[in-house]
């Protein structure tokens, strides 16, 4: 079985990456292969420092490699299975650390929320999990049906698949579209690996600056094929009344609203989070 040796920090390294410079050639005697027992996974302390201790290989594997490589590796040999397990553990640790750090910076109120929470909408989550993390999703339903929590869970899945999360919270969206420099701030939302937009159709959604910004942001992300998750309390049939509640909506306002709805209906998976709905029937925004 092939394998890897380890760096001084205990991280497995592929043998093909080991230097074979001329001044080291005498260490790499490849005239014969030798078989050595796998020493198992590297052990690190809570600060990530390599302690030098090893676990026994759970599969009792051995590693076959050139004699010179075995000499250089010493007691740090890892079989393929242990290397895969180590890589998996590292990925889990890195994702967990990044997620906890991201939540502290962006969504502190949701930091301790999990799918085990009694108020978590598990039926809606089962449907959402069937969608690839590359899918655009719109979550709609009454207040308290878990739209934001579902959005965060989908973003957590996306992080595991290498997509860095970003959320445009309702208050940020309102502030950005009321300021004069909001176009400069939009780049991070356009380029995010996966973007969540909280309460898209809120109290400011009737303003021209708001709908223009949202339409452009959705267009850019669709063109770049970057997934977006939108939450809203309103269904499409209720938008006209909300956006024209002061009876001052212009033809241009209607066209911008309809342009946003066309993009959502054509390119987004819609999920009704109302707990009273029949989850055996597909929802339509």
How many CB atoms neighbour CB 73 within 10 A? Answer: 21
Q: What is the pLDDT of residue 52?
A: 67
Per-residue pLDDT band for 124 (boundaries 50, 70, 90) equals very high
Sign for the pseudo-dihedral over CA of 165, 171, 177, 178: negative
H-helix or E-strand spanning residue 217: helix 208-224
Dihedral-angle region of residue 60 (phi above 0 means left; psi in -120 to 50 means alpha; beta otherwise): left
CB burial class (10 A; 0-12, 13-18, 19+) of residue 88? exposed
284 vs 269: CA distance, rounded Å: 9
Contacts of 68 (CB under 8 A, 6+ apart): 27, 28, 29, 30
Higher pLDDT, 67 or 200: 200
Q: How far is CA 17 from the centre of its chain?
A: 30
Residue 249 has pLDDT above 80, yes or no: no
Q: How do strand 42-44 and strand 50-54 relate by DSSP bridges?
A: antiparallel
Whether residue 283 is predicted with pLDDT greater than 60 in this model: the reply is yes
Most confident of 107-111, 114-118, 218-222: 218-222
- Pick 84 or 26 by higher pLDDT: 84
Residue 241 confidence (pLDDT): 67
Considering the chain, what is the average pLDDT of its residues? 80
Rg (CA), the chain: 26
pLDDT tens for 25-44 read: 555 555 678 887 887 777 77
CA separation, residue 8 to residues 13, 45, 49, 262, 282 (Å): 11, 14, 10, 56, 54
- In this predicted structure, the answer to whether residue 24 has a pLDDT above a threshold of 60 is no
Judged against a pLDDT cut of 50, whether residue 74 lies above it is answered with: yes
Architecture of domain 107-272: 3-Layer(aba) Sandwich (3.40)
pLDDT of residue 7: 58
Q: What confidence score (pLDDT) does residue 92 get?
A: 86
Report the C-alpha gap between 174 and 168 in whole angstroms: 10
> Which residue did the predictor score with more confidence, 75 or 19?
75
Neighbours of 179 (CB within 10 A): 12
**What is the structure's pLDDT at 191?**
93
Taking the C-alpha atoms of residue 196 and residue 167, their distance in angstroms, rounded to an integer, is: 4
The predicted-structure confidence for 130-150, as pLDDT tens digits, reads as follows 999 999 999 999 888 889 999
CA geometry: angle 222, 227, 231, nearest 5 deg:
105
Instruction: Please state the rounded mean pLDDT for residues 175-204.
Output: 82
Instruction: Flag whether pLDDT at 209 surpasses 90.
Output: no
Six-digit token string for 123: 């039926």
Residues of the chain with CATH 3.40.50.300: 107-272
CA distance 107 to 45: 29
pLDDT band at 83 (very low <50, low <70, confident <90, very high): confident
Q: Which pLDDT belongs to residue 196? A: 95
pLDDT band at 273 (very low <50, low <70, confident <90, very high): very high
pTM for this predicted structure: 0.74
Best mean pLDDT range from 1-10, 168-177, 266-275: 266-275
- Say how far apart CA 43 and CA 171 lie, in whole Å: 45
Residue 42 three-state SS: strand
pLDDT by residue (tens digit) across 91-106?
888 888 888 888 888 8
């Amino acid at each position: 079985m092939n394998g890897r040796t380890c760096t001084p920090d205990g991280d497995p390294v592929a043998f093909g990456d080991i230097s074979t410079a001329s001044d080291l050639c005498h260490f790499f005697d490849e005239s014969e292969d030798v078989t050595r027992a796998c020493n198992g996974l590297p052990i690190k302390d809570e600060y990530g420092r390599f302690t030098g201790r090893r676990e026994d290989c759970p599969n009792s594997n051995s590693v076959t490699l050139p004699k010179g490589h075995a000499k250089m590796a010493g007691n740090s040999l890892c079989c393929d299975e242990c290397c895969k397990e180590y890589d998996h553990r590292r990925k889990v640790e890195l994702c967990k650390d990044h997620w906890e750090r991201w939540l502290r910076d962006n969504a502190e109120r949701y930091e301790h929320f999990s799918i085990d929470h009694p108020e978590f909408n598990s039926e809606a989550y089962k449907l959402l999990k069937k969608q690839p993390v590359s899918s655009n999703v719109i979550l709609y339903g009454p207040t308290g049906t878990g739209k934001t929590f579902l959005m965060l869970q989908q973003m957590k899945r996306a992080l595991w698949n290498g997509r860095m999360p970003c959320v445009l919270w309702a208050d940020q969206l309102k502030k950005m579209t009321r300021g004069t420099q909001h176009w400069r701030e939009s780049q991070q939302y356009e380029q995010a690996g996966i973007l969540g937009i909280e309460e898209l159709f809120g109290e400011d959604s009737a303003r021209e600056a708001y709908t223009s910004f949202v339409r452009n942001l959705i267009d850019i992300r669709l063109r770049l094929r970057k997934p977006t998750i939108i939450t809203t309390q309103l269904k499409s049939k209720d938008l006209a009344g909300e956006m024209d509640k002061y009876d001052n909506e212009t033809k241009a306002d209607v066209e911008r609203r309809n342009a946003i709805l066309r993009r959502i209906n054509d390119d987004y998976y819609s999920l009704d989070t109302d707990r009273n709905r029949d989850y055996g029937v597909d929802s339509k925004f």
